[in-house]
Amino acid sequence: MEVGKHSDEENLTAQVVRGKVLWEANNCMGCHTIMGEGAYYAPELTKVVERRGEGYMKAVLMSKTPWSPRGRKMVAYGFSEEQANDLVAFFTWIGNTDLNGFPPKPDYKSTINTK
Amino acid sequence: MRYKSQKLAYWFFALSMLLLTLQIVYGFIMAFAHLGYDVLHPVIAFNTARAVHTNLLVVWLLSGFMGAAYYIIPEEAEHEMVNVKLGFVQLISLAVVGVIAIIGYHFNYWEGRKFLEIPRPLDYLVVINVLTFLGLIIATLYKGKKRTTTSLVLTMGLVFAALLYLPGMIWFDNQTMDSFFRWWVVHLWVEGVWELIMGGILAFLLIKITGVDREVIEKWLYVIVGLTFISGVLGTGHHYYYIGTPKYWLIIGGIFSAMEPLAFLGMALFAIAMYRKGEKKHPNKIALSWTLGTAIVSFVGAGLLGLAHTFPQVNMYTHGTLVTAMHGHLAFWGAYAMIVLAIISYSMPNMTGRKLFDSTTGVLAFWLSNIGMLGMTVAFGVAGVAQVYLERKMGLDFGDVQKEIQVHFLILIVCATMFTTGIGLFIYEFIRYGLPTDEALESVN
Ligand code: HEM
Ligand code: HEM
Ligand SMILES: [Fe+2]
């Protein structure tokens, strides 16, 4: 099916699905957006693997205190290594779906110095 | 002619007012969190506050629609509600399911899908509850003397709303499919079948308040129902641009959703035209304000502010930003909150026998809540547009952008305070009306 082709159905492994279960059971969508859907309180996560890399993400997910380098607090889930890997697999899969160009590439990124 | 069983409506309206109050409390919790004061984080994290805020919204609106149906159907069908006791059971079970869900959200008990957070076991209870409600309404219509277009459109809206709850209960491994069917509930409710409910209530109110012939008003209703379906069904495509679905949705969604404002424009023109045409000047001016208000504000909030980000070229940048929150607030307020407040304002004097409809409090409630909500819309809008430019165009980090736009949440809180004052006055009036009585409903007028 076409939806499948766009959404990378063939790479939908059991690990990705376990990640999705964690994503839903904890209502991460109540703070974050994914594929542009969800809440507007915390970063959009469609391209988070590309943006932060696996190590950073695992630090966020396994943190035992609320993660908040930029001020806002995330819930301190303190996930196990295995759970964190499942979530990273889920975000990797999401990052590989063909979203017709979303999120847009910023026009001026190269000229601005972001931390 | 009025019917004693219409009293049932009062209790649904009372539940509505209670849940609306709670919804606002959780709105403030989120607004303060955006402003940097998330002091409640350990107890009520943002995702809890949000799920409670939006679910309470949906439940108080549904309770309002149910109250409206319990008030309107006996009067239109010219028959008492078939089983008032069962109606009370349905009311209490609705409240209980709602309360369990809300408490559960504070203990990580939910399904993390925006707007559909109610966990599966409770979903089944919701289904039973709604079936009971529909059974009562349909049985009353069936036994009644008349089946008017107004009552049929209202009932059709309620039946479809119940059916469309079901696709939201299917589990998908694939996030794209999950999102695809989530919209069958969310979009097809607010831009489809709920519009029928709104149209039905609006037609009833206009018939009563303006005194224009039923034939004329119901002809308009057909046009509005037609426009809603033609545009709204394929209009779902405006949520299928960027979620992993094929490109043809960009065209389908763009074209059909751009026609959706026509249904809302139709309602606004319809209400104004009937008001102009009406010979009879009904004394309930406050109900008239809310009735015309809902038709006009829904066109602005849903129609115009929806159109503002519905084309794929724009939505690419605004998708999932505070721009969406701007539109969500004014659309829900104008179309569905105001229609519920309109039917409450109209029916309270009839149910209680007290004619408080020219009080200054009522007028103030109308203006403060509306101006407050417009201000909130502007605050979300300015924050949203700034976010789009800084994050999506300039490529700044999400967290840095949020710091830049934080000040707009101060404005949001100021306007929300004004809004809340208006709602407070509305509820004060509601309480002042007192309880419904048989004598009031029996006195024909
Ligand atoms: C005092 C009043 C209110 C305040 C301070 C408030 C504030 C908020 C905030 C901060 C959000 C979350 C945005 C985010 O995800 O970051 C939100 C979401 C929402 N609120 Fe309110 N709100 C209020 C009243 C209302 C009312 C009266 C309605 C309906 C008529 C409403 C409907 C919504 C909806 C539909 C959403 C979800 C929006 C979306 O997902 O795009 N709110 N509100
Ligand atoms: C009374 C009717 C309406 C209500 C209550 C309403 C409410 C909402 C809400 C709450 C959302 C956020 C949904 C989510 O992310 O889960 C939304 C999104 C959206 N609405 Fe509406 N809406 C209405 C009518 C319309 C109309 C008529 C249009 C177009 C002309 C429109 C265009 C959009 C678009 C394009 C989005 C997606 C925003 C994004 O990509 O983030 N809406 N609406
Ligand atoms: Fe929509």
* Residue-number span of the structural domain to which A54 is assigned: 11-96
Q: Assess whether pLDDT exceeds 70 at residue A8.
A: yes
Angle separating helix axes A81-95 and A48-62, nearest 10 degrees: 160
Atom 5 (ligand 2) nearest CA: B332
A7: nearest CB among B244, B395, B396: B244
HEC profile for B260-293?
Answer: CHHHHHHHHHHHHHHHHHCCCCCCCHHHHHHHHH
Domain count, chain A: 1
* Phi and psi based region of residue A33 (left: phi greater than 0; alpha: psi -120 to 50; beta: remaining): beta
Looking at the domain assignment, is residue A102 inside a domain? no
| Residue pairs spanning A and B at CB distance below 8 A | 166
ipTM attached to this prediction: 0.95
Between A112 and B412, name the one with better pLDDT: B412
Looking at the domain assignment, is residue A111 inside a domain? no
Looking at the domain assignment, is residue A54 inside a domain? yes
Tens of pLDDT, residues B316-330:
999 999 999 999 999
How far is residue B412's CA from residue B409's CA, in Å, rounded to a whole number? Answer: 5
Per DSSP, A77 falls in state -
pLDDT-based confidence at A109, cuts 50/70/90?
low
Rounded mean pLDDT of chain B?
96
Locate the chain A residue with the closest alpha carbon to B119. A25
Tens of pLDDT, residues B190-233:
999 999 999 999 999 999 999 999 999 999 999 999 999 999 99
Looking at the domain assignment, is residue A73 inside a domain? yes
Q: Judge contact between B232 and B263, C-beta under 8 A.
A: yes
Q: Assess whether pLDDT exceeds 70 at residue B304.
A: yes
Tens of pLDDT, residues B161-173:
999 999 999 999 9
**Cα B400 to the center of its chain, rounded Å:** 34
Radius of gyration, alpha carbons of chain A? 15
Looking at the domain assignment, is residue A40 inside a domain? yes
Between A2 and B319, name the one with better pLDDT: B319
Please give the pLDDT value at position B277. 92
Q: Assess whether pLDDT exceeds 90 at residue B281.
A: no
How far is residue B5's CA from residue B171's CA, in Å, rounded to a whole number? Answer: 40
Looking at the domain assignment, is residue A112 inside a domain? no
A40: nearest CB among B174, B176, B325: B325
Give me the residues of B, 22-81, that contact A with CB < 8 A: 30, 33-34, 36, 38, 41, 45-48, 50-51
pLDDT-based confidence at B442, cuts 50/70/90?
confident
Chain A closest-CA separation from residue B112 CA (Å):
4
Q: Assess whether pLDDT exceeds 60 at residue B268.
A: yes
Atom 9 (ligand 2) nearest CA: B328
Looking at the domain assignment, is residue A115 inside a domain? no
Tens of pLDDT, residues B179-195:
999 999 999 999 999 99
User: For the whole model, what pTM was predicted?
Assistant: 0.97
Per DSSP, B40 falls in state T
User: Which residue is listed with tokens 């490109």?
Assistant: B247
CATH code, domain carrying A51 = 1.10.760.10
Across A1-5, A90-94, B48-52, B322-326, least confident range: A1-5
Token pair in block for residue B276: 């102009």
Looking at the domain assignment, is residue A3 inside a domain? no
Tens of pLDDT, residues B65-102:
999 999 999 999 999 999 999 999 999 999 999 999 99
How far is residue B250's CA from residue B444's CA, in Å, rounded to a whole number? Answer: 55
Q: Assess whether pLDDT exceeds 60 at residue B15.
A: yes
